[in-house]
Amino acid sequence: MRKILIIGATSAIAEAAARIFATRGDALFLVARNAEHLRAVVADLNIRGAARTDSATLEVTDFAAHDAVIEKAERDLGGIDIALIAHGTLSDQARCEQSVDVMRREFDINALSTLALLTALANRMEARRSGTLAVISSVAGDRGRQSNYVYGAAKAAVSTFLGGLRQRLAKANVNVLTIKPGFVDTPMTAAIPDKGALWAQPEQIAAGIVKAIDRGRNIVYLPWFWRWIMLVIRHIPEPIFKRVKL
């Protein structure tokens, strides 16, 4: 039995991952915004076999509340073996371009709140000299594109931060996993019509995340083919890239 903290636990990918953990009999602590949704997920995981499931509500941009929630998770679980950070919003790029407030808010949710949570969790795991930090970043963070560069920049910040954290915590026996999903068919992306062949289901991504955690991986693209797609995209020279529509 492992003790697992999940932040953004009512997101489709996190919920699917939590089901895999629950089926294995792990103990879970779920954090999300909506208490009603949390209740539904907690009941489901307990039936599926979780050793226990506790929860707390949190607005991730309420930075002052982070510590208390992590404290409670640690207390209820009796220590945290794995923390999966999965919250996020798909930024409305057009609105971010028109409003600095909207842009900053998106950055708070998708970057700064994650970095703050990681800072607190990293120090605890470093002190205990064990644990896994698994964080959902995105392929969007691999290169800025006109269609979603605010979201992409926030995810780039997360990926880069995790790179540094991984080096720092390697000495302390703490594994840091950067998860880069491609297009996933979830409520977050429900507004996007015409989902083509590149789209994956949240259950597929969740299975990939659990496998990567089990194997102590560093960076994982999900599904795997995104590693090669992003390799190509990252290597398109800027003079050409600025003229393509992506």
Burial class (CB in 10 A: 0-12, 13-18, 19+), 24: middle
Name which of 37 and 143 has its Cβ closer to other proteins: 37
Q: What's the closest the beta carbon of residue 35 comes to other proteins, in angstroms?
A: 11
Q: What's the closest the beta carbon of residue 10 comes to other proteins, in angstroms?
A: 9
Q: What's the closest the beta carbon of residue 223 comes to other proteins, in angstroms?
A: 15
The residue whose two tokens read 């470093």 is 126
Name which of 130 and 204 has its Cβ closer to other proteins: 204
Name which of 20 and 116 has its Cβ closer to other proteins: 20
Q: From edge to edge, which strands make up the β-sheet containing 52-57?
A: 52-57, 27-32, 3-7, 82-85, 131-136, 174-181, 219-222
* 8 A C-beta contact, residue 131 and residue 163: no
Residues that bind other proteins (CB under 8 A): 12, 36-37, 40-41, 43-44, 47-48, 187, 190, 195
Q: What's the closest the beta carbon of residue 54 comes to other proteins, in angstroms?
A: 17
91, two tokens: 């930024």
* 8 A C-beta contact, residue 13 and residue 205: yes
Q: What's the closest the beta carbon of residue 42 comes to other proteins, in angstroms?
A: 10
Distances (CA, A) of 5 to 31, 42, 93: 8, 13, 30
CA gap 241, 225 in Å, rounded: 21
Name which of 2 and 48 has its Cβ closer to other proteins: 48
CA gap 140, 169 in Å, rounded: 25
Name which of 47 and 198 has its Cβ closer to other proteins: 47
Name which of 44 and 76 has its Cβ closer to other proteins: 44
Q: What's the closest the beta carbon of residue 20 comes to other proteins, in angstroms?
A: 12
Q: Which of 139, 40, 27, 11 is nearest to 79 (CA)?
A: 27
